Structure 1
Amino acid sequence: MTRIGRSDLDVFPLSLGGNVFGWTADREESFRILDAFHGGGGDFIDTADSYSAWLPGHTGGESETIIGEWLASRKPLDMVIATKVSKHPEFPGLSPRNVRAAAEASLARLGVDTIDLYYAHYDDPDVPMEEIVAGFDDLVRDGLVRYVALSNFTADRIRSWVELARAGGSDLPVAIQPHYNLVHRNVVEETIIPLAEEFDMSLVPYYGLAMGFLTGKYRSTVADEQSSPRARGAAKYATPEGLRIIDALERIGAAHDASIAATALAWLRAQPTVAAPIASASKVEQVEDLLASARIELTGEQLAELDRVSAWSPSS
Structure 2
Amino acid sequence: MRTRTIGSGESTRQVSAVCLGAMPFGTTVGEEESFAILDRFVAAGGTFIDTANNYAFWAPGGRGGESEALLGRWLAARDYPEVVLATKVGAQPTVPGAGLEAAQGLAGDTVRAAARASRERLGVERVDLLYTHIEDRSVALEETLSALADLVDEGVVGLLGASNHAAWRLERARAVAAASGRPGYSVLQYRYSYLQPRYDVPFPEGGHVHASPELLDFAKVHGLPVLVYSSLLSGAYTRPDKPLSPPYDHPGTQARLAALDEVAKETGATRNQVVTAWLLGHDPQVLPLVGASSVSQLDEVLDAVELELTADQRVRLDAAR
Q: Give the alignment's TM-score, normalised by structure 1.
A: 0.88
Structure 2 residue 28 is the aligned partner of structure 1 residue 24: yes
Partner of 2:309: 298
Q: Contact 1:155 / 1:195 at 8 angstroms: preserved in 2?
A: yes
CA shift at 1:257, angstroms?
3.4
CA shift at 1:255, angstroms?
3.4
CA distance in 2, matches of 1:101, 1:144: 12
CA distance in 2, matches of 1:155, 1:80: 26
Structure 2 residue 19 is the aligned partner of structure 1 residue 15: yes
1:177 match: secondary structure:
strand
1:37-63 deviations in whole A, cap 9, x for unaligned?
111111111110000111343221101
Q: Contact 2:256 / 2:317 at 8 angstroms: preserved in 1?
A: yes
When structure 1 is superposed on structure 2, of 190-199 and 242-251 the one drifting more is: 242-251
Partner of 1:75: 79
Structure 2 residue 135 is the aligned partner of structure 1 residue 135: no
Structure 2 residue 54 is the aligned partner of structure 1 residue 42: no
Q: Contact 2:68 / 2:121 at 8 angstroms: preserved in 1?
A: yes
CA distance in 2, matches of 1:30, 1:120: 25
Correspondence for 1:152 among 164, 167, 178: 164
Code of the residue aligned with 1:111 in structure 2: it is G
1:88 match: secondary structure:
coil
1:109 match: secondary structure:
helix
Report sequence identity in percent: 35
Structure 2 residue 281 is the aligned partner of structure 1 residue 270: yes
Q: Contact 2:68 / 2:118 at 8 angstroms: preserved in 1?
A: yes
Partner of 2:182: 170
2:287 match: secondary structure:
coil
Q: Contact 1:162 / 1:173 at 8 angstroms: preserved in 2?
A: yes
Correspondence for 2:259 among 248, 269, 279: 248
Structure 2 residue 218 is the aligned partner of structure 1 residue 195: yes
CA distance in 1, matches of 2:246, 2:213: 26
CA distance in 2, matches of 1:32, 1:267: 27
1:71-105 deviations in whole A, cap 9, x for unaligned?
11121130011110011124710111101111111
Partner of 2:173: 161
Partner of 1:123: 135
CA root-mean-square deviation:
2.0
Correspondence for 2:89 among 81, 85, 88: 85
Correspondence for 1:52 among 51, 56, 77: 56
Count of residues in Structure 1 that have an aligned counterpart in Structure 2? 298
Change (3 A) 1:294 1:188: same
Q: Contact 1:266 / 1:293 at 8 angstroms: preserved in 2?
A: yes
CA distance in 2, matches of 1:239, 1:289: 28
Structure 2 residue 4 is the aligned partner of structure 1 residue 2: yes
Q: Give the alignment's TM-score, normalised by structure 2.
A: 0.87
Correspondence for 2:232 among 186, 209, 220: 209
CA shift at 1:282, angstroms?
0.8
Q: Contact 2:196 / 2:253 at 8 angstroms: preserved in 1?
A: no
When structure 1 is superposed on structure 2, of 105-114 and 185-194 the one drifting more is: 185-194
When structure 1 is superposed on structure 2, of 292-301 and 153-162 the one drifting more is: 292-301
Code of the residue aligned with 1:147 in structure 2: it is L
Partner of 2:271: 260
CA distance in 2, matches of 1:235, 1:169: 43
1:163 match: secondary structure:
helix
Partner of 2:203: none
CA shift at 1:32, angstroms?
1.0
Q: Contact 1:213 / 1:237 at 8 angstroms: preserved in 2?
A: no
Change (3 A) 1:239 1:126: closer
Structure 2 residue 117 is the aligned partner of structure 1 residue 105: yes
CA distance in 2, matches of 1:191, 1:239: 21
CA shift at 1:236, angstroms?
6.8
Gaps of 5+ in 1: 219-226, 312-316
Superposed, which structure 2 residues align to 1:176-191 within 5 Å? 176-184=188-196, 188-191=211-214
1:83 match: secondary structure:
strand
When structure 1 is superposed on structure 2, of 52-61 and 123-132 the one drifting more is: 52-61
